[in-house]
Structure 1
Amino acid sequence: MKVPVRYYIGIVLFLLVLSSACHSPKSSNAINDERLQNQKYSDTVKMTSDNGEYQIIIIEPGFYGWLNSIARARGYYSQSFFETRNLMLVQEYNLRVQQPDRFDQNLYPFRIEYYPAINYGYELNYQLYNYFVYFQLHYNQRLTPIEPRI
């Protein structure tokens, strides 16, 4: 029996293709919407923590392929490395969520709940850290003075 998920860490970012939605004929829109839906589902990463209590869902076109082809392999960094970096990254990300007049709400739509006293396990910390690296590189953002490490 699965342990129920008590906490939900969610990073949900959707890329909207406005130009094709505004200027294409309806039949083309239906095809584009279907492709976008398929791409969204194929680029969804759902990870449960080692103990099954916490979950992270990342919906980001391109992230899954990047994670499997470019990101450092599991085991390269320690869990404590990820926890330290994730705490700094989450704090800055959440500050930007609270300042929609200064930062793009499309890039910073939701607050991330991440608590240093909770052991989320290696895999969840690995996924979160690598999402932040991807996010910073892909969207040309800098969340900390530390250069994103691949």
Structure 2
Amino acid sequence: MKKIYLVLGTLGLFSALIAGSCSSSKETVISDKEKAAFHQKEADTVKIANDATEYEIIIIEPGFNFWLESIARPRNYYSQEFLESRNQIFVTNYNQRVMQPMRYDPNLYEQQINYDFHTDYGYEVNYKLYNYFIYFQRKYNQRLGPFVPRI
């Protein structure tokens, strides 16, 4: 069985990035419940393994599992096509930032994501990858695409 691992996560906690504010009209509003997820210290590991698709995603990020279960849109809210199209944008921009450690924080952008745009990873992998990117952007005040990361 062939496996491709997508391991994501940040080792350091950068609460200073959360404290920064923006005066733009497209400011991201973070609820108290979401802030609680961002400030969790215990490491969460989210693993999705599907023998049918032979792909696996492992996300190690404090608070992500709590955020995914309590804040994120429920499964089947988005179509798989929507998730795939957004993941293409997010992965491309994320990987570009990994390759520029002098410009982007290498503690946030640690390693490239091996995501093949022509492979059908299935709904669950795309759902969790998409939501990780939303979580990541909201927690660390980053923008990986032309749109504001919303829930």
Please indicate the TM-score interval, normalised by the length of the shorter structure.
0.7 to 0.9
Q: 1:147: Cα distance to partner?
A: 1.3
In structure 2, distance between residues paired with 1:16 and 1:123: 27
2:34 maps to none
SS for the counterpart of 1:114 is coil
DSSP 3-state at the match of 2:87: helix
Equivalent residues of 1:50, 1:121 under 8 A apart? no
Q: Which amino acid aligns with 1:6?
A: K
Mean CA deviation greater in 46-55 or 106-115? 46-55
Deviation at 1:8, TM superposition (A): 1.2
* Aligned-pair CA distance for 1:134: 0.2
Tell me which residue corresponds to 2:138.
137
Task: Supply the distance in 1 between the matched residues of 2:50 and 2:83 (Cα, whole angstroms).
Answer: 14
Q: Specify every segment of 5 or more residues in structure 1 that has no aligned partner in the other structure, as ranges.
A: 18-35
Give CA-to-partner distance per residue, 1:48-105, whole Å, 9 cap, x none. 2472411110000011100000000001000000000000000000000000000000
Q: Which has the larger radius of gyration?
A: 1
For 2:51 and 2:123, the matched residues in 1 are separated by 7
Instruction: State the TM-score, normalizing by the size of structure 1.
Output: 0.78
Give the match for residue 11 of structure 1: 8
- Report percent identity of matched pairs: 55
- Computed over aligned residues only, the root mean square deviation of the Cα atoms, in angstroms, reads 1.6
TM-score (norm. length: structure 2)? 0.78
Report the CA distance between 1:15 and its aligned residue: 2.2
Q: Which residue of structure 2 aligns with residue 110 of structure 1?
A: 111
CA distance in 1, matches of 2:85, 2:150: 14
Long gaps (5+) in structure 2: 15-40
Q: Matches of 1:131 and 1:74 in 2, distance apart?
A: 14
